Chains A and B, each alone.
Chain A
Amino acid sequence: MLSRLHRIEQPVQLTFEGVVIQAERGDMLATALLAAGIDHFRQSVVSGSPRAPYCLMGVCFECLVTVDGAQNRQACLIEVEDGMTVLSQKGAPTIPELATSEEGMVP
């Protein structure tokens, strides 16, 4: 939903759901995604309704995304980095495999 008023001077390249995105060095991830035309960041954990950043300052937790495998990162508080892999979060998180694997079993 955002447009940049200035050209990107020091480009940083990352991906959101596999789509390559250009950002400016020093950008916060949330702003960079909005400026790249990503309007839906995640689906809410209760009803699955689409959500996007609301406050951009760490208060609302609407911008939660998975960054390089780590869930529930606040995109408005993380700076963009080259090669960053960002995924949308769809509904309530599940504990993959771990819960049923032997490693994850509590003796």
Chain B
Amino acid sequence: MSLREVSTASDLRDFYDVIVIGAGPAGMAAAVESSSAGARVAVLDENPRPGGQIYREITRNRPERRTYLGPDYWKGKPLAEAFGHSTVDYAPRAAVWSLESRDETVAQTRNVVGVTVAGSARMIEADAVVLATGAQERPMPVPGWTLPGVMTAGAAQIALKAAGAMPSGTVVLAGCGPLLYLLASQLIDAGVSGLTVLDTAQSPFRVGVLRHIPDFMLSPYVLKGIGLLVKVRRHANVFSGVNSIEITGANQVEGVKFSAAGKEQTIPTSAVLLHQGVIPSTSLTNAAGCELKWNDEQRAFQPVADHEGRTSKAGIFVAGDGAEIAGAQAAEVSGRITALAALSDSGLVSITAAAARLTTLHTQARRFLRGRAFLDALYSPRQVFLAPRDPETIVCRCEEITVRKLREAIALGPPGPNQLKTFVRCGMGQCQGRLCAATVTEIMAEEKKVSPSDVGTYRIRSPVKPVRLAELAHLPHTPRALKAVTGRDPVDHDIKKKSGHIT
């Protein structure tokens, strides 16, 4: 048995028991778990090969050729192999642009997924949809961050994994979070010619951080974390307590001006990599109408979900980092738990059969969640990087909306980000608010002196990925939709069309 790779939209079935969106650790695990229980499963993923971002190109990479990636990366191999041997319909290079619920009967809801594969759109249905959409990096708006030569740390890591490529020349890595030091270590192993780390983390000697130390000491991350810090400090130029960053250059990065310990300095470089933690990717969850809630420890909105991934919408589940940030290994367990919950809800697995396995999985999940609270508290970004004060800094990169424009518009009293959007067009560009939503919420919360939870975030609407009008036009239409557009009953329409009297 092995998976069936789907390369055209028409090769997908009309209906699946479970549709999994995303083929990272959570998505692959959900697919393996549900298909081995006998369910008909489709996995839709944007990339050409499975692995998500964390295990990017895991099926093609060989350890001897990519030694610099480090041991944790290869932990994805067994899961990717199990996924390769599963019986799912796997559609890579697929863009999922909508998800909506349709009530079949009072008791039954079907979820309809709009997807484009190889240039044609298709609507497919499932009893359960597992959103394993993963994480994205939290935006880090600093002056000059739109210049060519600035990328996220995650982007540099993707280039290393996918193409064995790294920034040419000296590199400045700026921000905070575990990924910053992991990437620094990988770049050192890959032979980077000069590396400066501008660590923007706040002092670790805070009550909110120290109280989580006992739990962290028992977590699997302790040795790894300490090892990384020691190694990076030995091989890179590390500045701690950085509280201001400005990227300089006319048409390209030329340098970074920063201040640490009250001293301002400038270093020349052609590559700056920014990172201040990751947040759940919620575009599709949000567009599907699932409720979101503010997570104050992780400073991000995440879907409202129970401990088995059930969202506020019937039959829509979330798993992995798209549900709450917990890392790759936790995501894998979360994918399995969510799949079992989905199958037992739709009656494909008996509740008693699922119970024993769920108990084991929940125990594993707790192990991987250990230490997370410490990391969240330790790497909580500085307010000045969450809600920048420099008036000319661009927040919405697509529409080029600055901090000044946002703060001025907020002073006019719009109640939330959605109204602010109509005032100044922030979040109305091609990325659909993916890269400014978090900052807009933070700035608004600061200006109004309320919690981000009270501010809320953009209401996202489908299509959440670009889809051509021609593709939408080719979809089968309901009689009601035809009437809405043509103003005629479909029956009349057909008759007139046949007799050639279209006016």
Task: Using CB atoms, name the residue of chain A closest to B401.
Answer: A46
Q: Sample 23 A-B pairs with CB under 8 A, ordered by A number.
A: A2-B168, A5-B164, A5-B165, A6-B65, A26-B48, A35-B165, A40-B251, A44-B398, A50-B148, A50-B251, A54-B151, A54-B155, A55-B136, A55-B151, A55-B155, A56-B158, A57-B53, A57-B154, A59-B136, A59-B434, A61-B429, A61-B434, A64-B430
Docked CA distance A51–B147 (Å): 6
**B191–A57 touching, CB < 8 Å:** no
Residue A85, interface by CB 8 Å: no
11 additional A-B pairs beyond A34-B165, A72-B466, beta carbons within 8 Å, are A1-B270, A2-B165, A40-B148, A41-B148, A47-B400, A54-B150, A55-B154, A56-B152, A58-B46, A61-B434, A77-B47
**A59–B281 touching, CB < 8 Å:** yes
Interface members, chain A 27-85 (any B CB < 8 Å): 27-28, 31-32, 34-35, 39-41, 44-47, 49-62, 64, 72, 74, 77, 79
Interface residues of B: mostly helix, strand, loop or mixed?
A: loop
Interface residues of A: mostly helix, strand, loop or mixed?
A: loop
A24 and B163 contact, Cβ closer than 8 Å, known pairs A60-B434, A77-B47 = yes
- Closest CB pairs A-B (n = 10): A52-B148, A56-B155, A2-B165, A61-B430, A61-B431, A3-B168, A46-B400, A31-B163, A56-B158, A5-B164
Task: Using CB atoms, name the residue of chain A closest to B60.
Answer: A26
| A contact residues vs B (CB 8 Å cutoff) | 1-6, 24, 26-28, 31-32, 34-35, 39-41, 44-47, 49-62, 64, 72, 74, 77, 79
Interface members, chain B 388-444 (any A CB < 8 Å): 397-400, 429-431, 434-435
Docked CA distance A61–B190 (Å): 28
**B148–A27 touching, CB < 8 Å:** no
In the complex, what residues of B have CB within 8 A of residue A41's CB?
Answer: 148
**B151–A31 touching, CB < 8 Å:** no
Q: How many residues of B contact A (CB 8 A)?
A: 47
Residue B194, interface by CB 8 Å: no
**A44–B148 touching, CB < 8 Å:** no
**B165–A3 touching, CB < 8 Å:** yes
**B168–A55 touching, CB < 8 Å:** no
Docked CA distance A64–B430 (Å): 9
**B154–A50 touching, CB < 8 Å:** no
**A32–B163 touching, CB < 8 Å:** yes
Docked CA distance A67–B48 (Å): 17
In the complex, what residues of A have CB within 8 A of residue B434's CB?
Answer: 59-61
In the complex, what residues of A have CB within 8 A of residue B270's CB?
Answer: 1
Centre residue among B251, B399, B430 by max chain A CB count within 10 A: B430
Docked CA distance A77–B168 (Å): 23
